[in-house]
Structures are given as structure tokens and as C-alpha cells.
Amino acid sequence: MDKFFYNLKVGIITLALAFVVGSAVAAPLEDLVEQKPSQALTQLKTALAEDANDENALFLQARAHENLGQTEVAKRQYEVFIKRFPARPEAYLNLANIYSKKGNFNKARQLLEQGLTSKPEYAQIYQSLKKLNGHLAVAAYQRALSKDNKTVAPTLATASSLAPQAVQIKEVEVIKEVEVIKEVEVIKEVEVVKEVIKEVPVPVDALASNTNKPIATQTEKKIFTTRVPTVSDPQKPTDKKADQDLVPIVKSWASAWSDQSVGRFVSFYAPDYSAKGKTRNQWLQDRKLKLTNKSFITVSVDDFKQSLSNDLVNVTFKQNYQSNIVSGVSTKRLTFKKIGKNWKIVAERIIR
């Protein structure tokens, strides 16, 4: 009987050890990529030899090179992956992180916005956009005030594996522009500050009284001690002419259009804005398509005229639109209304 129990105990221990060892051997390849990327690359090479179109293996291969610090190799592989599988947002996310670490924040933001277009419900894209836009706002503000930009590059979210196609993160509206708007508003107001810095002259007497101070410092003093119109200033009543200078906002709107930045572009419009005959979502889908289906877009604006109509400000200007598909010059009118602290487009019309 004792021998029976002894043999039973040995059998149980053997089975347990076999299970533990087997589990270690069968560890997910995704974990291996994060913990032992060199070993993972060996297995991935075998997997891709069997199926060169295995999207999971292709993604993990790029991720393994990224973890090994071979960023140029990883960058090329992520770029190839995006061309082959443009609907997968994970590669956009990781490639954006590589560019962000190198200090190319505009390219990183462009990639995140492209990833947002590929899968609007992918939550990690929003997290990274929030961090990146916050960093850009601080950097732009420091440049506007002629200060040294010593901000640390943000740490963006990354994807260690491809999410199952069937798994859906909580569904949101197309572009989910409201969350992106919150971040880009700061950047837009900084752009207005920069325009004001350019336009406000430095008083001669101020320079004469303190010639040791740099001109940039005198300009800063002028901005913060003199009443100048900005986006967040309260509107003063007027009968005929608008005292709000919305030209910088129109220029930023044209810049977002030229950058083909869907999130930034739609943020200039009122939350309930929609084109005639279309629902809000239909308008968003249409704008997204028209912004992203061209290899380049260039929009320049000039010859501005402003007028006030009740609580609305009309800005009429000449618009020169160029793209690889269509080009033309027209006169356009944007109608703005102050919503909260910001001016938003509530109507858009081509005059001729």
C-alpha cells in the first residue's frame, strides 16, 4: 500500500512538472517579443517562411526589432505593414511612438490621425493624441514667447500585439472629434498668440527706456499689458464692424486643411455643424474622405473682410485650393459664433 501511494505521489509530481515545463514552452509569442525579442525573431522567421502574409507575424517582427532598439529596421517594417494592412491601427501607433522619440512630433501626430481614420474606436490612439497635442501646445507657447523649448518628449502608448478584429472597444462616433477638440483648442489659441506677437509693434519709447532687454521681451510685455483681441477675449458690443479678429483662426483652419488633419480640421466647426442635406455623421464621413483621398492639398487664404451680424461674425476671403485632383480659386464666407470661450464655424458658403 505504501508503495502504491509513493508511486502515486511520484506520478502526480511528474505530471505537474510536465505541465509547468509545457506551459513555459508554449508561452505566447507576443510575450516572447516583449521579453526575449531575439529569440522571438527566430520563431517569427520560421512562421513567415511558412506564410509570408501572416499579418500577426509581420507586426510582431517589427515590434521585436523595435524592442531591440533597431528603430530604422522597425520603422521600415511598420511602414510596409501599414501599406499592406492599412485598416490595422496598431502599426500607426507604434510608428508614431518611434517618430515622437526622435523629436518629429508633427509626423507622429499625422500617423496617429491616420490610425484614427483607420479605426476610430481604437482607444490608445486617443490617449497618445492627448499626450502629443498637450506637448505640442506647451512647445508652441514657449516658441511664441521666445523661450527655450526644454520640454521632455511625451511617452506615447504602444501596441504589443494585434487586437482581434472581432473585439470592439466601446463604439464611438466617427472621428470622435469632441475628445480631440479639447486638446487642439490649446494649440489653436497658441497660434493666435503667435499671430498677435507678430502684429503688435514694440513701442519706441519702451525700447529707448531699457535698451538692455531683448526685443522679444518687450513684445511679450506689450502683449500682456495691452488689450488685444484673442479667441478667448469677451466680445464687446458693436453696431457694424466686428472687433474680434478671426483671421488667425481662418488661417489655422486653412493650415489644418492643407495638413489633411481630420481631427484638427473638424475641430474648427460647431459641435452640431452639418452640411445642408446631411447628418452630422454623414458630413464627418464626407470630410474625412475628401481630406484623405488626395496625395496633397494646399489651401491659401487672403484678402479678408469681417462683419458683424447680431452675435455672428462673417469672415469673407479669397481661397486658393490646390490638390492632385482638382484646383481652383473662389471667394468664401465662414460664419462664426462664440460657443463657450471659442469661436466656431456655424456656416460655410462659397460666394463665387
Residues in a beta bridge with 284: none
Q: Which residues of 17-48 are buried (b: 16+ CB within 10 A; e: fewer)?
A: eeeeeeeeeeeebbebbeeebeebbeebeebe
The continuous run of DSSP H or E covering 258 comes out as: helix 247-258
Higher pLDDT, 106 or 165: 106
For 226, the grid coordinates are 495691452
What pTM did the predictor assign? 0.44
Domain ranges (residues) in the chain: 2-181, 230-350
Let me know: does 40 contact 32? Beta carbons within 8 Å: yes
pLDDT per position as a tens digit, 150-208:
666 777 878 888 866 433 333 343 344 434 444 444 444 445 444 444 444 444 443 34
Ramachandran region, residue 90 (left: φ > 0; alpha: ψ -120 to 50; beta: rest): alpha
Please compute Rg for the chain using Cα positions.
27
Instruction: For the beta carbon of residue 179, count every other beta carbon within 10 angstroms.
Output: 13
Residue 12 is predicted with a pLDDT of 54
Calculated CA dihedral for residues 326, 263, 267, 294, nearest 10 degrees: 0
pLDDT per position as a tens digit, 242-251:
567 899 999 9
* Superfamily holding 2-181: Tetratricopeptide repeat domain (1.25.40.10)
Instruction: For the beta carbon of residue 246, count every other beta carbon within 10 angstroms.
Output: 21
CA distance 196 to 190: 10
Let me know: does 81 contact 101? Beta carbons within 8 Å: no
Return all residues near 248 (Cβ < 8 A) that are at least 6 apart: 191, 192, 195, 196, 231
pLDDT per position as a tens digit, 269-317:
999 998 878 888 888 988 898 898 888 899 999 999 999 988 899 999 9
Residue 135 is predicted with a pLDDT of 78
CA distance 185 to 195: 15
What CATH number is given for 230-350 in this structure?
3.10.450.50
Question: Quick one: average pLDDT of 128-151?
Answer: 71
Grade residue 21 by pLDDT with cuts at 50, 70 and 90: very low
CA distance 318 to 351: 10
For 87, the grid coordinates are 485598416
pLDDT per position as a tens digit, 304-326:
999 998 889 999 999 999 988 88
Per the prediction, the chain carries an average pLDDT of 74
The reply to whether 230-350 shares the fold of 2-181 is no
For 327, the grid coordinates are 484646383
Residue 186 is predicted with a pLDDT of 45
Ramachandran region, residue 224 (left: φ > 0; alpha: ψ -120 to 50; beta: rest): alpha
Per-residue pLDDT for 29 more than 50? Answer: yes
Let me know: does 316 contact 305? Beta carbons within 8 Å: yes
% of the chain beyond a pLDDT of 70: 64
Would you call 66 exposed, middle or buried from its count of C-beta atoms within 10 A (0-12, 13-18, 19+)?
buried
Let me know: does 99 contact 172? Beta carbons within 8 Å: no
